[in-house]
Structure 1
Amino acid sequence: MRLIQRNVFLRCSTPLNVFSLIHKTMMKLNTVVIVIVSLCGLMGEALAVRPRLRDRRAAACSPPSQCSSVFRNKNVVSAENVLDEFPEELVDFVPLLDSPVFTGTGTDTWDHSLRERSFILHDGPLWTMWYTGYNKAKGPEKFLGHATSPDGIAWTRSFTQPIHTADWVEDVCVIHHDALYHMFAEGTDDISHRLTSVNGINWISHGPLDIRSVEGVPIESGPYGTPTVFFEHGLWHLYYERKDAAVWLATSRDLQVWTNLQDEPVLRCGPEQYDAYAVAFDQVIRHKGRYYAYYHASDQKEWGRWSTNIATSSDLVHWKKYPRNPVLPANPEQPLQSSGFLVKTPVGYQFYTTHPVVSIFVPRSQHP
C-alpha cells in the first residue's frame, strides 16, 4: 500500500484526481480479496470432499489387501483386537498321540463304529465317556455306550452292551447338575430329546425337547439337532441346528419348555469358505470372563469333510468367529474328523474330537 500511495501522489496534481485514483485502486483491491476468498472456499470444499472420498474408498476395499497400506494397517489393528479375545490355550492345539484313544470295535458288535459327538466329563476319580455306537450290518439304530478312564487317554468299555436301548441316541451333550446327569441328544429324524440319570448309566427318557418361537408357538416342524447346552445362573441355554444350516438359541428355567431368545440364528454359515455349507455347535464354555463355542463346519456342499472352529461372545447371543479359523482344519487322512470339545484337567486342558474316532489334542504350550 505504501508503494501504491507514493505512485498515486506523484502522478496526481489535484485532490479530485487523487480521490478518483484511490477509488479505482480500492475497487481493484476488493476484486483481489474476493478472488482470494473464493479460492479459500474452493480449497475448503476440496478438503471437505477428501474425507468423504477416503470413506468411500475404505468401504470399497474388499478384500482389505487391495487397499493402501494406511487402510490395511487399520484393518490389522482391528483384527489384532479380535485375536486378543481368543487365548492361545483355546485355539492352538497339537496331537498328544499319533493314534486315536478310542474307536469302534471294528467287529460284529453293536458298536462296530462310532457316530458323531461323544461326550467326556472329568467327574470324580475317573473320566467318563458317553458314546454312540452302531453296526450298519444290523440296522440304522444308534445306541448309547459307556466307557471310563483314569487319565482321559486309556479308555475301557464299561459294558459289552448298550446302556440304553429305549431310544435312538447320538450326538450327546451331558451336564452334571444338582446330583443329576442331564443328557441332551439327537433321536430319530434328528429330533433332540432329553434323558436323566443319577449314576450316568441308567437313563430315563423325557421325550423330545419342546422348543417355541419368541411368540410362544412351536417352531416349524422338521429336524432340530446337535443339542448343545450351557447352564448358568439358573438358566439353561440350548443351541441347536436345523439341517446344519445355522445355529439357534433357546432358553429354559424348567427344562420343560424352551423359548427362542430370538427367531433368527445366532450363528450362520460363511462368509468364509471353511464354514460355507454347514455349522453346528459342539460345546459352550466360559473362560476368563468370556464365552466360547466350539463348532464343526464344512466347506463342501456334500459335507465330505469337516473342520473344528471357535467363536466368542460376551452375552451368549452375539458371536464373533475366530479370524484364524479353523483351529483344527479338515484332516486329509480323516476328513470326517469333527465334534470337538475341551475338557479341563488339573494341569490344563485336553481337547477331543469324537467323530468318527476319538482323538486327543493339547494346547501347544502344554505339549511334552
Structure 2
Amino acid sequence: MLGLDDTRIQSYLTPYKYPEPVLVGSGKEGAFDEKGVDIPFVFLHNNQFHMLYTGYDGKGYQSALAVSDDLLHWKHKGIILGRNQRSSCWDSVGAAATWMIKDSDHLYDTPGLRKVDGKYWLVYHSYPSVGYEEGAAMIGLAWTEDEELLDWHRLEKPVFSWENGEDWERGGLYKACIINYEETWYMFYNAKNRESRWVEQTGMASSKDLFHWERCRRNPLLKVTPGKWDGRFLSDPCIVWDKGVWLNFFFGYDRGHAQEGLALSENLIDWEKVDSPIIRHGKPGEIDENHAHKASIFYYDGKLYHFYCATRPKQAGDQTEVFGEFRTIAVASNQPFS
C-alpha cells in the first residue's frame, strides 16, 4: 500500500478544510432538502460553477442544481430529478443523481459537460421503498438538451440492476460514475450484499453505447480491508486521470466514521490503495466530526478542490437534521483558504 508521505500522491492531497459548510439544506417543511443535502458533483457550465446534489425529505432522495461564483457560496437553482409522478415506475420514490458525463476525465482539466448524440447525460439511482435508502436500488440514465440543465428526461427502464449481479452486489447499487477511455464507457459503482450488517464494495462495468453494460469478471475491483479504516465500506467512486495513472477518490467506513481515501491504477482493473484516509473525520464540533465522505474533485485556476458530504451531531440552531446528524456539503483544498 502507498503511504501518505509517498511523493506519487502529494499533489492529490487537500489538507486545508474550509471551516463552514458550502451548501446546507433548507430545513423547510415539505421541501426536497428538508432533512439534509448529500452527494456533490461540481462542474463548470456556460462560464458558471454548478453543483449537482441530492436532498432528503424523509421519504427519499431528489436531485437538484446549485450555482456559485466563487466555489464557496452556493445558491439553489432548481430541482432537476424529483419523484416520478407515475407511481408504478421504478423510480417513483426518488432519484439520487450522482454524475454527469464530462468533457474531460483529466484531473487538471476544469470539468465541463460533454454532449453524446446531441444531449447531456446524467446517471442516477433509485430505491424502491419510502425511507432512507430503503430497498435494493438500481441505476438509470437521464438526458437533456436544455442549456439551463433544468428540463431532464429519464429513460423508461434502469440500465443497470442488481438482479443479475453477484452476491456482493445483490443488496442494491449506490453511486455510479462514468468515464470514457479509448472509445469505451466505464461505469464504476458501489454496491452492498444482503447481510443485515452489510458490506459495500466497488465494481466496474463497461459499455460501447451507455445503455448496455457488461460487468468486469474480476468484480469487486476495490474491496474492503477487514479490521482497517475501510473495513466495511469502500464506496462512492470518483475516477479521474493524471499522468498515466487513474485515481479513485472513494470513502472508507468502519467503527463509526466515514473518511475519504485514494486508490491508484494504471489499467482501471488493478488498484493500489493509500493505506490511510486522505481526509479524516473532524474533531468534536467540526462540520465533519462524524463523516467526511462522497468526493467530487474539481480543479480551477491552479487550485484543487475536494468537495464532500460532511456530517456531525445536530447542534442547537442547525436548520436540518436526519437521524440526529447535521448533513451538509463541505470542501477542502490543496491550498489554504483566504
Question: Per the shorter chain, which TM-score range?
Answer: 0.7 to 0.9
TM-score, normalising length: structure 1: 0.69
Residue 11 of structure 2 aligns to a residue whose secondary structure is: helix
- Could you tell me which of 171, 185, 209 is aligned with 2:124? 185
Segments of 5+ residues of structure 2 without an aligned counterpart are 85-90, 102-112, 128-135, 193-198, 311-326
Shift in Å, 1:181: 2.3
Are 2:153 and 1:153 equivalent residues in the alignment?
no
Cα–Cα, structure 1 residues 102 and 197, in superposed 2: closer, same or farther, change >3 Å?
A: same
Q: Does the CA contact (< 8 Å) of 1:91 and 1:310 recur in 2?
A: no
Are 2:119 and 1:198 equivalent residues in the alignment?
no
Cross-structure match for 2:262: 310
Cross-structure match for 2:83: 165
Aligned length: 276
TM alignment of 1:32-47, pairs within 5 A = none
Q: CA RMSD in A?
A: 2.5
Q: Does the CA contact (< 8 Å) of 2:14 and 2:305 recur in 1?
A: no
Q: Does the CA contact (< 8 Å) of 2:97 and 2:122 recur in 1?
A: no
Q: Does the CA contact (< 8 Å) of 1:126 and 1:151 recur in 2?
A: no
Structure 1 runs of 4+ with >4 Å offset: 78-82
Give the whole-Å Cα distance in 1 for the aligned partners of 2:23 and 2:12: 23
Give the whole-Å Cα distance in 2 for the aligned partners of 1:195 and 1:123: 18
Shift in Å, 1:346: 2.1
Cross-structure match for 1:359: 330
Cross-structure match for 1:252: 207
Residue 42 of structure 2 aligns to a residue whose secondary structure is: strand
Cα–Cα, structure 1 residues 234 and 114, in superposed 2: closer, same or farther, change >3 Å?
A: farther
Which residue identity lines up with residue 100 of structure 2 in the other structure?
A: V
Shift in Å, 1:115: 4.3
Cross-structure match for 1:340: 295
Which residue identity lines up with residue 103 of structure 1 in the other structure?
A: V
Residue 38 of structure 2 aligns to a residue whose secondary structure is: coil
Are 2:172 and 1:223 equivalent residues in the alignment?
yes
Cα–Cα, structure 1 residues 92 and 98, in superposed 2: closer, same or farther, change >3 Å?
A: closer
Cross-structure match for 1:141: 60
TM-score, normalising length: structure 2: 0.74
Are 2:41 and 1:119 equivalent residues in the alignment?
yes
Give the whole-Å Cα distance in 1 for the aligned partners of 2:268 and 2:145: 29
Which residue identity lines up with residue 160 of structure 2 in the other structure?
A: D
Percent of aligned positions with the same letter in both sequences? 16
Cross-structure match for 1:32: none
Higher strand share: 2
Shift in Å, 1:288: 1.8
Cα–Cα, structure 1 residues 80 and 307, in superposed 2: closer, same or farther, change >3 Å?
A: closer
Which residue identity lines up with residue 321 of structure 1 in the other structure?
A: K
TM alignment of 1:22-61, pairs within 5 A = none
- Could you tell me which of 176, 182, 192 is aligned with 1:233? 182
Give the whole-Å Cα distance in 2 for the aligned partners of 1:305 and 1:211: 28
Cross-structure match for 1:31: none
Segments of 5+ residues of structure 1 without an aligned counterpart are 1-77
Which residue identity lines up with residue 228 of structure 1 in the other structure?
A: C
Which residue identity lines up with residue 158 of structure 1 in the other structure?
A: K
Shift in Å, 1:222: 4.0
- Could you tell me which of 76, 81, 100 is aligned with 2:21? 100
Q: Deviations over 1:180-199 (max 9, x none)?
A: 32211221132121111223
Q: Does the CA contact (< 8 Å) of 2:38 and 2:55 recur in 1?
A: no
Give the whole-Å Cα distance in 2 for the aligned partners of 1:309 and 1:145: 26
Q: Does the CA contact (< 8 Å) of 2:40 and 2:51 recur in 1?
A: yes
